[in-house]
Amino acid sequence: MGRSFCSILLFLIFNLFFFSAYSIKVGTDLRPGFYSSSCPEAESIIRNVMRRAMAREPRSGASVMRLQFHDCFVNGCDASLLLDDTPTMLGEKLALSNINSLRSFEVIDEVKEALEYACPGVVSCADILIMAARDAVALSGGPTWDVKLGRKDSLTASQEDSNRIMPSPRSNASFLVGLFAGYNLSVTDLVALSGSHSIGDGRCFSVVFRLYNQSGSGKPDPNMDPVYRKKLDRLCPAGGDGNVTVGLDATPRFFDNQYFRDLVKERGFLNSDQSLYSGDPRTREVVERFSRDEEAFLEAFVEGMVKMGDIVSDKEGEIRRNCRVANTAVLGR
């Protein structure tokens, strides 16, 4: 009973801190078709740019999709993630969970340039991230859905906030359940959105501790299939190049439920992934269900992406001309 009470107390403290520290709300004014009159070709322009980018570099689809999560969880979906550092502002790109990890910012630049040519000053960078993430999934063989639009772009960014909020690859399921609950995202949402790792690669840097020193034990993670561990040992030797990449599941270019089937076989790449199956009965049940029922996963994933996209900031915003720089900085004011 004492342990249970402490867990509840810690959860309440976490949420009290979270909501007092971050100014976010649900975007009730967002709606599909927001640009149907002001920029009717916006969604087709973004889809075409994404198609070309993924043809050049297949990994860019997964990279762009990840940008939505890393943006929305830090003070809402406001494209703060895209801002470059300035002499007076440390942005989020070099935050602990983002540095040497997030990629494909140039794809968003390409999208913005095309939209500025078609309809200058109309489509926000925050909305671009939401549409581009949806298209990355669809172009990888996953589902498509109507996105709600009408977000504004932030005027600033905070590396400190990103460091405080974003989970690491070492996070366990229990921590993630609490983190997602702070955004009114359920256990099912957490597991479904983790399925974004159905596509993309992870760096050896993020897995070596599981191979050689899990929890400081000097031993490998016991929740890892021995055959899979031997494969990773070859690709990610101790003292090797931490930037070598490995598929996050067995079909890293195709959006499907292979990720969950791999977790059930204890072939999850990241600790935060495998923990969903091996570390918490609440998430384990959902992983097992999605491993058996791909359609259930795809439906839950779409629902989770829409709910995550509803997290917006209540701070003042704008429509940036350049996603990397606030308009006031461009104009020198």
Token pair 């772009």 is found at 153
- Burial class of residue 29 in the structure, from the number of CB atoms within 10 Å of its CB (0-12 exposed, 13-18 middle, 19+ buried): exposed
- How far is residue 81's CA from residue 72's CA, in Å, rounded to a whole number? 9
Q: Decide if 84 is catalytic.
A: no
The H-or-E segment that residue 154 falls in is strand 153-154
Q: Smallest Cα–Cα separation from 263: which of 292, 234, 243?
A: 292
Alpha-helical regions (H) of the chain: 2-21, 42-56, 60-72, 105-118, 125-138, 159-165, 173-181, 187-194, 208-212, 226-235, 258-264, 271-278, 281-292, 294-309, 327-331
Alpha-helical regions (H) of 119-212: 125-138, 159-165, 173-181, 187-194, 208-212
Active-site hit among 47, 70, 151, 210: 70
Give Cβ neighbours of residue 9 (< 8 Å, ≥ 6 apart): none
Q: Which residues are annotated as a binding site?
A: 71, 74, 76, 78, 80, 92, 167, 197, 249, 251, 256
Q: Which residues are annotated as a binding site for Ca(2+)?
A: 71, 74, 76, 78, 80, 92, 249, 251, 256
Which residues are tagged catalytic?
70
